[in-house]
Structure 1
Amino acid sequence: MGINKKIGLFFCFCLTSCYFGANESSEEIINNYYLAKWDENTWISYCKDIDRIFDIEKIIIGHNVFAVGNNEDFIIAKQHPCENNDLHFMDYDSLKPNRNITNYIIIETRNDGCKLHSFNNEKDYNNERIRFGIPKSLVYQFYDNELE
């Protein structure tokens, strides 16, 4: 391989090296709802185009999601909000979770669209689960013990 080709390959690698460190992944939960992961953080995104699930306007539950379960009609989740209350998305200095607060979330997946219910205490969340008929047997299939 000639020196020009080596320099060209090195230059291309330098241009894309930030992308290689991203560690981005996703998996569909159900009906266009995705568990989107970027490095050590997890979001829930609602999008009909998998290529756009990391777009800010598609994120319905911000970072620090640590528990997700679902059946055909509902997604249940737990999330710690960030210590930084300012609007932000990928400012890594701002992503530190406030473990003193847990948000409990129910997402209705029965109809096309996104209907989200959020509670800041477990009692209200459990009462709403009963009202919606969400069985106690519905457990969290994704659980991040380190973030809990």
Structure 2
Amino acid sequence: MNKAQTFFLICLIFTLQSCLFGVGLVEEKISDNIFLTAINEYDELSIWHSLDNTSIRNLLVPETVFAIGNDNEFIIVKTHPKNSNNEMNRELIFYHIIEIDKIREFGPSQSVSMVREQFEIKRKELQIPDKLDFEIVFKQNE
């Protein structure tokens, strides 16, 4: 194999690496077109909405997701925010509520970060059942 062929092969491998090795570390479907995604590391876990048959994605919940619960109507999420150095701040916990029907009707928008008290008030207001709990927990981000 000559130098030009070797160079071409190396370029091809780098170009196609996402096709060959998958999208990333995590890409789990939560509901409809809503996905939990992390490309390289678990501290990148975030929740995205993907439009039908397109590569267009909208951020619903920013990094770093560490717990999720969902049913047919709601997705509840716990996150640790990142600081200015892009490091996870485990001392802070934010809560998020994604209303699935609202996304279907009005389109995706980023979830509001709430502290526990705000989350509990909003949960009662939306009549989210008590049985809906944070069933999926990423211990490495907890």
Q: TM (normalized to structure 1)?
A: 0.73
- 3-state SS in 2 of match to 1:35: strand
| 2:126 corresponds to 1:123 | no
**Cα separation, 1, equivalents of 2:118 and 2:113:** 9
Give the share of equivalent positions with the same residue, in percent. Answer: 27
- Within 5 Å, give how 1:1-148 maps onto structure 2: 2-3=1-2, 5-13=5-13, 15-16=14-15, 19=18, 23-40=24-41, 41-49=44-52, 51-53=55-57, 58-84=58-84, 94-111=85-102, 112=104, 113-114=107-108, 116-120=111-115, 122-148=116-142
**1:23 to 1:33, Cα distance in 2 relative to 1, 3 A:** closer
**Cα separation, 2, equivalents of 1:21 and 1:51:** 15
Amino acid at match of 1:131: E
RMSD across aligned positions (CA): 2.6
User: Deviating runs (4+, > 6 A) in structure 1?
Assistant: none
- 1:91 paired residue number: none
Structure 1 unaligned residues grouped into runs of 5+: 85-93
Q: TM (normalized to structure 2)?
A: 0.76
